[in-house]
Structure 1
Amino acid sequence: MRIAVCGTIGSSKSSLLSCMMGEVPKTSGVLKLCGTKACVAQSPWIQSGMIAEDISFGKEMDRERYEMILDACYLKKDLEVLSFGDQTVIGEWGINLSGGQKQRIQIARALYQNTDIYLFDDPFSAVDAHIGTHLFKRCLLGLLGSKTLIHVTHQVEFLPAVDLILVIKIEANLVLVKLMR
């Protein structure tokens, strides 16, 4: 199932995902997530080291899956212009990447983990519209087509492709959630 989470700035959309990851305590109710999960934060995080290691993140290299993910995340052209391709060192001791490149590497890392549940916190805000559309189609609708996806977004053009829309609104210091199909 694909679920979109929408709402105004400051309406606790990111906090909802943080709660699902166990990073923010819930004050009441029940939260049950069954299966493995991966989260793609709004602000990209990368580890220092080679790009290939950052994406595989400790998992054994499956070259076919890896290449498919590079293509889906629009990274192949970026890697072609780097002197050492995916063996290029990034981060503290390596080269600097743009925010969009970091975000696409972070998305590739999440996809490579092959988890049951994916939590995406508006990751396309760091990329241009063309790349965002490519990522949405190839990653969220393609590679994650059979996975559970909870996607915080402000991009209404993606909403027709989801199964359920949660609209979060703050009113009188209460968080109100409305379900839409």
Structure 2
Amino acid sequence: MKIPKGKLVAVVGPVGAGKSSLLSAMLGEMEQLSGRCSMTGQVAYVPQQAWIQNMTLRNNILFEKPLEEDFYKKVLDVCALQADIDLLPGGEMTEIGEKGINLSGGQKQRISLARAVYQNADLYLLDDPLSAVDAHVGKHIFQKVIGPDGIISNKTRIMVTHGMHWLPMVDAVIVMNQGKITGAGTYKELMDCGGTFAQLVSAYMTEYQDESAEESEGKFYFTIENNH
């Protein structure tokens, strides 16, 4: 696997395929049996389970780096954190409890992402960074942070994701299954080839349509009950 500098690469595959393990291997956290792994520049890692320290929200983001006011405010904006900060009793100086106990899952994930963005690293390893946020917040973060026009668009980004709707907007896709890379290429190339990737996309679309239908039925039922 070779990833060119400055590209956005998505890693996809069924549950248990080894997507998170691939990032762990890149970080040197797994025993290497053969081959070699090399990365250049400073690395920032956003894990699937957000890591939050028992300190203020601001210090969780700064992570011991000096405060650059303008850049810090921009990071809060692109990571959709300002509205949450406005609701906290102490704003950005609110003390965060052990393991982020006084934050929601989505807030913890966005703080974890904001910390990585603020580090201004060269390579970003993102393990399903949008899994804990709402759809509209996820769209905002992808557009403003991760995507082609995002704040880290000039950095190398490797993103594990289950959101197939992001794939047409990435530079390349790596498909994994049973711990191995089974395909790599652009979204169009992989769709044209069929195989595991096409099956994943098809399953995702079916699930999405089923959820939309259930939601529509629920709304319709609720409306009928109210009118009655």
The question of whether the paired residues in 2 share the 8 Å contact of 1:49 and 1:93 is answered with: no
1:161 Cα deviation (Å)? 1.2
What is the CA–CA distance in structure 2 between the aligned matches of 1:94 and 1:14, rounded to whole Å?
22
Deviation at residue 45 of structure 1 after TM alignment:
1.1
Partner of 1:88: 94
Q: Deviations over 1:17-64 (max 9, x none)?
A: 011111112221121101110010111110010000000001000011
- What's 1:180 paired with? 185
Greater helix content: 2
| TM, length-normalised to structure 2 | 0.75
- Deviation digits for residues 107-166 of structure 1 (CA, Å, limit 9, x no counterpart): 000000000000000011111111111111111021111000000001011111111100
Show the counterpart of 1:43.
49
1:169 corresponds to 2:174: no
In structure 2, distance between residues paired with 1:81 and 1:168: 41
Matches within 5 A, 1:28-67: 28-67=34-73
Query: Would you say 1:150 and 2:164 are equivalent positions?
Result: no
TM-score under structure 1 length normalisation: 0.94
Structure 1 pair 90–177 and aligned structure 2 pair: CA distance change class (3 A):
same
- Unpaired stretches in structure 2, ≥5 consecutive residues: 1-6, 187-228
Distance in 2, Cα, partners of 1:154 & 1:138: 19
Paired residue total? 178
Distance change (3 Å), C-alpha of 1:93 and 1:150: closer
SS in 1 for 2:41: coil
Of residues 59-68 and 91-100 in structure 1, the stretch that sits farther from structure 2 once superposed is: 91-100
Gap runs ≥5 in structure 1: none
* 2: CA distance, partners of 1:54 / 1:179: 36
Larger radius of gyration: 2
| 1:77-156 equivalence runs, <5 A | 77-92=83-98, 96-141=102-147, 142-156=150-164
CA contact (8 A) 1:49 1:94 kept: no
Task: Check whether the contact 1:88–1:94 (CA below 8 A) recurs between aligned residues.
Answer: no
Hey, what's the Cα distance between the residues in 2 that align with 1:130 and 1:67?
21
> RMSD value over aligned CA atoms?
1.4
* Partner SS, residue 98 of structure 2: coil
Cα 1:157–1:37 change in 2 (3 A) is: same
CA–CA distance in structure 2, aligned partners of residues 38 and 11 of structure 1: 23
Q: What CA distance in whole angstroms lies between the structure 2 residues aligned with 1:138 and 1:91?
A: 28
* Identical-pair percentage: 46
**1:95 Cα deviation after fit:** 6.3
Match of 1:75 in 2: 81
Q: Aligned letter for 1:162?
A: V
Name the CA distance, whole Å, in 1 between partners of 2:100 and 2:152. Answer: 31
